[in-house]
Structure 1
């Protein structure tokens, strides 16, 4: 897609434009963390970022475009996966990264706000799905490497294993309110590893072929 045909907020800028984008996205994140999606306003973002309203309106055009660009930036800036040499070590590193993110004083409320917005806004939901797809793809190789080492059965669905690690942590954040600490992270990783070793995530060979051909 050319720059002219791209949706607002999706072109990767450089130089001064990159600095403006970083400042604006920081303001977006602050507002989401402090007040939630319902209070996200283009004029307020411009004021907080100390940039002209015209710049924000021309570049992004809507609050959903701002959120989509913020999620893209977060995916680009997030920490690379760990390489510990063992499945359990890698999954624990993943779980602890998720735990630290969700309990961070800024990131935790920000994710809650975005997830809440995604339930009623299609573009925000699409951006959130894309964010998690990037993160799952980043971590999936640790599962495939475990298969190669003989730790897991052939045909294990790497993406499902990574989802299984973070799902209990998001449940604690959004539903149960139970403590979201390192112990919870480690238990989530241990449970996912045990289930994977038992073959719970071995996918149907037909599904495996479809994914390989895609």
Structure 2
């Protein structure tokens, strides 16, 4: 069965072409939004033949899916500070800096808007966040082992709780959240987790007894 367009990880010249095309696609998204993303325009910006772009990615949504996959691969690894709160603050700081970056913040707004009305973009965005949550979930799991958080704490839910208010602030105000908002989000998620708000399954039943 042939691979879906944009999913094969190439090397050599093909890798350089992919990098140039993805960079150009990200630029268009950041500058003009999803509605203006056009494969021919991306090919022109990347100085790549249109045939190459159409053959490799097939569609705008295929290109966006590959861009998100690349962004997930290039994202920074989690920070280990030795405490759950320290790790969650590091995560919140990373999200805040990303959303405050002129290019990255605009790019995420464009992709989130597209995901609201395009199923393939929505799935690609979910995969992106699945990768990022899986990267940071161990900081919560390790906190459970150290006794900082109750047994049964849903690590993924805690990580989502850190970034959720930051994205909400960006999308509802149009203004990127600042460092104070990042610190507040991390402290709120930690306090809720320490109080057992994110305990599920067997751990939740143990808390009730």
Q: Which runs of 5+ in 1 are unaligned?
A: 208-214
Helix, strand or coil at the partner of 2:8:
coil
The answer to whether residue 29 in structure 2 is matched with residue 32 in structure 1 is yes
Q: Is the 8 A contact 2:85 2:186 kept in 1?
A: yes
The answer to whether residue 207 in structure 2 is matched with residue 180 in structure 1 is no
Q: Which runs of 5+ in 2 are unaligned?
A: 205-209
The alpha carbon displacement at 1:177 in A equals 4.2
Give every structure 1 segment of 4 or more consecutive aligned residues whose post-TM-superposition deviation is greater than 2 Å: 176-179
Aligned residues: 204
Question: In structure 1, which of residues 63, 82, 89 is the aligned counterpart of residue 60 of structure 2?
Answer: 63
The 5-angstrom pairing of residues 1-214 of structure 1 reads 5-177=2-174, 180-205=177-202
1:212 maps to what in 2? none
The alpha carbon displacement at 1:139 in A equals 0.1
| 1-structure distance, mates of 2:147, 2:174 | 37
Deviations 1:157-189, CA, capped at 9 Å, x for gaps: 000000000000001110134661111000000
RMSD: 1.3
Helix, strand or coil at the partner of 1:106:
helix
| 2-structure distance, mates of 1:87, 1:206 | 19
| 2-structure distance, mates of 1:158, 1:47 | 44
| 1-structure distance, mates of 2:180, 2:84 | 18
